[in-house]
A and B are shown apart, each in its own frame.
Chain A
């Protein structure tokens, strides 16, 4: 990976003996388990707006989080630097949660290991490249968006990269480090015509070098797609209101899975029996056409990790197989308390946050239908191909996701574009209404941000063209 040792050893002079001291302090009041999460993260961003480079930004985040688990209780503290005294202080603060007889003795830490596999092998990190190359990407996007249509009046293009070094050391003998790249571009356009103003958005990225910005993710392609959506909306009619048949296009509409079932299958909610999915393992929750997977091991994807933020390797986890609910997304704490094993889904926003079960790349496997045949089979319905965000109430199971590009389907033909509208459904039952799954699985282009308990992390979703017999569409046209 270009480095023989973690940066925390190379640059910050952390030693194995320091790690042993910190973990011993963390367990000084008892406690079943302790871990350390070291993070050094550099972010760069550049914004082009009104045809000039408005700003460039750099961020440095360095710190270490100390977690102590005692039964179901978690104590957490962190330090914003790697100063030995401050880390020891954090370890003692986290230790406060436990109030049992200390085991005594020193915690022994092996020499931290590099990852056995690398799911994001890249020759050069975007962070290390000259800023001029990144500016050129934005300028190309701006030109392409403006050239797409004279009604495009505003273009905002942004570039972001992240380089994240992590080192995770646990009291039960795991010591591993990773170096995680992430890059992204976004283009937002405003189209105007006779006082009607509409916006379009497209983005893309992944855990890759700048060579990711080719093909569908070429800056010009991203920009033209953003401009196309803005111009299209100028002619959109009111969206329909009420329950109807809906066909979801491939790719980013996979946000349906993320909201409808993904969050509800996170183990913490099921351990506490606060999820609408609690106790449904082994039951049929979806049509036989549905097989849904969370896979943190897909090379270069936004939701991919060599190891999760608790040091466990990521996995491919089947959530639903041919309609039957298979399992939960586990982190260490829930797996232990549920006498299960971790699925490598323990993630956190950064060193100042406690890890919890989270998704990685979540998608439905391709089916056998031809996407064109699926559309032809609909007499009257909605064809939704682009979405904004979504949200779920995991306890009631009700979820929403908001279409930003959708069309009416009339007698098997895609017709008028409609304005944005929210779709609302019930997680444990919506997939029972899936009546066709296309053979065209596509993952999103690398734009997913998932929020839970105030922590945001990068994720990816995917879907083949999918027909749902009935879901409520929240437009205004009755």
Chain B
């Protein structure tokens, strides 16, 4: 990591020399391996080291950004100069600038992001994880006749960040995912579903056999799915599909959506926006969390930010820019897109577990839809209007009965959040956004 830090310092020195008033640079190096096994054979195997340098320049109150995958010194030097030239052509923006020095800190917490024991696995052993998951899926149910395969992905990443205010920091982390996508077949047609596990540490992963088995069970139970009549019923989102609901809420509390007046949660701080049982946090400090890091992509230290507490909206999420613009504090959610532009990203943004098991939630429902997958993009975060394709299982008298497909569920996020009746105890972390099973009192299901 010392090479990466040395390079960031050279870039900062060059930026100062060439007339930028402030600058920051982030370098990321990913060492990645991925394999897909399908029907017992390796289908693809991919391995590479990739680098990306992301630069942000300020010339007074003007700014420009750039990125390059080519870290050859001459290329980087020219890019620094070009970025300074670009910055001179943009407009002055009073809210622009690096995060204030005060928020910088040099002793970062150890968040247990790295598990070097992943490196003990040989390529053959990594391939075997995928092979075992798929084999387990194929052995679980006779209906599983085909497969999109099982994949194992592993990345070891290093991140180094420096800026002209003297910030200088680096961290390293590991992350892996194992997933399995079986296909079930019957006379009526084919269905697929999946199951996965993702973690920074080896001992946090579910076993390949469990992943394959659960994937197969989820897939086989979808066979024979049919439409249901259009009507208004309770809708239960399983923990996997509930993640997307929490994701929409994340988009609506991003400071960038607030200053653009494009959020249904504009002007709602301190107000009740969800059922009393709902508490949501963004926690960059979660030990070994998939979204944890000691500082964000602008060098703001990791923090725990309450978003919703017992239904009340507490905070929006900010970068240095949106914080200045809206009169808040940076929350450590600065995230650099592939283009190098700083946007707002979730760290570990999740809805906290409630008291009910998923089984209790299903049992509580006389008639309703248990949603296991959502498709499409029919969510408008400006208005909260919600309409998405759903796959699920029909609930009758508290029991899962037949699978359902080719239906939509619709409502408005404002009401959906208020109408959450039960919160599951099964939060599942597979990425930066997580949720437990959620029951919504009623939504319109459109089908036959």
On A, residues with C-beta under 8 Å from B are 43, 45, 49, 52-63, 72-81, 90, 93, 96-97, 131-132, 135, 153-154, 156, 190, 192, 197-199, 239, 241-243, 272-274, 276, 352, 354, 388-393, 395-402, 419-422, 424-426, 472-476, 478
How far in angstroms is the closest Cβ of chain A from B256?
Answer: 10
Q: Is B91 an interface residue (CB 8 A)?
A: yes
Q: In whole angstroms, how far apart are the Cα atoms of A410 and B435 in the complex?
A: 43
The chain B residue sitting closest to A48, CB to CB, is B91
Q: Give the CA-CA distance A399 to B225 in the complex, in Å.
A: 15
Q: For residue A398, which residues in chain B have a CB less than 8 angstroms away from its CB?
A: 375, 389, 391, 405-406
Assess whether A400 is in contact with B375, with CB atoms less than 8 Å apart: yes
- In the complex, the answer to whether B69 meets A62 with C-beta atoms within 8 Å is yes
Task: Give the contacts of B143-201 with A (CB-CB under 8 A).
Answer: 146, 148, 183, 189-192
Which of B47, B183, B232 has the most chain A CB within a 10 Å cutoff?
B47
Whether the pair B262, A199 counts as a contact (CB closer than 8 A) is yes
Instruction: Establish whether residues A400 and B67, one from each chain, have CB atoms under 8 Å apart when the complex forms.
Output: no
Q: Which residues of A contact B146 (CB under 8 A)?
A: 272-274
- Contact indicator B380/A199 (Cβ below 8 Å): yes
Contact of B227 among A59, A60, A392, A472 (CB under 8 A): A472
Q: By the criterion CB–CB under 8 Å, are A96 and B375 in contact?
A: no
User: Is B71 engaged at the interface, CB distance under 8 Å to the other chain?
Assistant: yes
B220 contacts partner chain A, Cβ-Cβ < 8 Å: no
Q: Please, which residue of chain A has its CB at the minimum distance from the CB of B44?
A: A74
In the bound complex, CA of A154 to CA of B406 (Å)? 37
Question: Do residues A197 and B45 form an inter-chain contact, with CB atoms below 8 A?
Answer: no
B231 CB contacts on chain A under 8 angstroms: 478
Complex: chain B residue closest to A424, CB-CB: B389
A64 CB to closest chain B CB, in angstroms?
Answer: 11
Q: Which residue of A lies closest to B89 (CB)?
A: A131
List the one stretch of B9-17, B48-56, B290-298 in contact with chain A: B48-56
Closest-CB distance, A268 to chain B (whole angstroms): 10
Q: How far is the CB of B43 from chain A (nearest CB, A)?
A: 6
Q: Are A81 and B192 in contact (CB under 8 A)?
A: no
Contact check, A474 vs B410: say whether CB atoms are below 8 A apart.
Answer: yes
B408 close to A (CB within 8 Å): yes
Q: A154-B260, A190-B261, A388-B377 are in contact. Are A73 and B410 (CB under 8 A)?
A: no
Is A389 touching B69 in the complex (CB atoms < 8 A)?
no
Is B92's beta carbon under 8 Å from chain A? yes
**Given A241-B230, A424-B406, residue A58 in contact with residue B385 (CB < 8 A):** no
Find the A residue at minimum CB distance from B222.
Answer: A396
Q: Which residue of A lies closest to B75 (CB)?
A: A60
CB atoms of B46 and A77 under 8 A apart: yes
Enumerate 11 A-B pairs (CB-CB under 8 Å) in ascending A order. A52-B91, A54-B63, A74-B45, A76-B47, A96-B45, A153-B261, A274-B146, A389-B377, A396-B191, A424-B408, A476-B410
B339 in the interface (beta carbon within 8 A): yes
Docked-complex contact A391 and B190, CB < 8 angstroms: no
A243/B448 in contact, CB under 8 A? yes
Chain B nearest CB, measured from A155 CB (Å): 10
**Most chain B beta-carbon contacts within 10 A, residue among A59, A420, A475:** A59
Which of A192, A396, A473 meets B189, CB within 8 Å?
A396
C-alpha gap A96/B46 in the complex (Å): 10
Our pick among A60, A388, A419, A474 for the contact of B389 (Cβ within 8 Å) is A474
Which stretch from B80-88, B205-213, B246-254, B272-280 is at the chain A interface? B80-88
- Asked whether B109 is an interface residue with its Cβ less than 8 Å from the other chain, the reply is no
Check: B4 CB closer than 8 A to any chain A CB. Answer: no
Q: List 4 tightest A-B contacts by C-beta distance, closest first.
A: A474-B408, A400-B376, A52-B91, A389-B377
A241, B410: Cβ atoms under 8 Å? yes
Nearest Cβ on chain B to A402's Cβ, whole angstroms: 4
Complex CA gap A274/B38 in Å reads: 12
Residue with the highest number of chain B CB atoms closer than 10 Å, among A63, A80, A153, A478: A80
**Interface positions of B from 115 to 145, Cβ below 8 Å from A:** 123
Minimal beta-carbon separation of B146 from chain A (angstroms): 6
In the complex, which residues of chain B have a beta carbon less than 8 angstroms from the beta carbon of A62?
A: 68-70, 75
Residues of A within 8 A of B269 (CB): none
Contacts of A420 in B (CB 8 A): 378, 380, 385, 387
A165 to B388: give the CA distance in the assembly, Å.
39
Q: Contacts A57-B65, A59-B68, A198-B383 known; A474 to B86 CB distance under 8 Å?
A: no
Assess the B339–A45 pair: CB atoms within 8 A.
yes
> In this complex, which of B72, B260, B409 has the most chain A Cβ atoms within 10 angstroms of its Cβ?
B260
Chain A: CB-nearest residue to B405: A398
Complex contact A192–B72 (CB within 8 A):
no
How many angstroms between the C-alpha atoms of A195 and B411 in the bound complex?
A: 19
| Distance (whole angstroms) from the CB of B338 to the closest CB of chain A | 8
Which among A45, A154, A198, A474 has the highest number of chain B CB atoms within 10 Å?
A474
Residue B424 at the A interface, CB < 8 A?
Answer: no
Quick check: is B41 within 8 A (CB to CB) of the other chain? yes
Q: Which residues of B contact A77 (CB under 8 A)?
A: 46-48
- Chain A residue with the shortest CB-CB distance to B55: A58
With CB as the reference atom, state the residue of chain B lying closest to A392: B375
Assembly CA distance A424 to B38 (angstroms): 30
B378 lies within 8 A of A402 (CB): yes
A390 touches B410 (CB 8 A): no
Closest Cβ of chain B to A275, distance in Å, is 9
Q: Is the CB of A354 within 8 A of B44?
A: yes
Query: Within the complex, which residue of B68, B91, B383, B408 is in contact with A60, where a contact is CB–CB below 8 Å?
Result: B68
- Give Cα A349 to B93, complex, Å: 34
Q: Flag whether B286 is at the interface (Cβ < 8 A).
A: no
**Do A81 and B376 have beta carbons less than 8 Å apart?**
no
**A242–B230 contact, CB under 8 A?**
yes
Picked from B42, B48, B376, the residue with its CB within 8 Å of the CB of A78 is B48
Chain B residues within an 8 Å CB radius of A154: 260-262
Residue of A55, A421, A473 touching B65 (CB-CB under 8 A)? A55
B425 in the interface (beta carbon within 8 A): no
* Assembly CA distance A388 to B86 (angstroms): 32
Is B353 engaged at the interface, CB distance under 8 Å to the other chain?
Answer: no
Beyond A422-B408, A474-B388, 5 extra complex contacts between A and B, CB < 8 Å: A57-B66, A57-B339, A59-B339, A239-B410, A419-B383
Residues of chain A contacted by B410 (CB below 8 angstroms): 239, 241, 421-422, 474-476
Distance, CA A37 to CA B83, complexed state (A): 28
Q: How far is the CA of A197 from the CA of B231 in the complex (A)?
A: 28
Name the residue in B86, B191, B232 with the highest tally of chain A Cβ atoms < 10 Å from its Cβ.
B86
Q: Which residue of A lies closest to B96 (CB)?
A: A54
Whether the pair A81, B71 counts as a contact (CB closer than 8 A) is yes
B446 interface contact, C-beta 8 A: yes
Query: Could you tell me the distance in whole angstroms from the C-beta of B414 to the nearest C-beta in chain A?
Result: 13
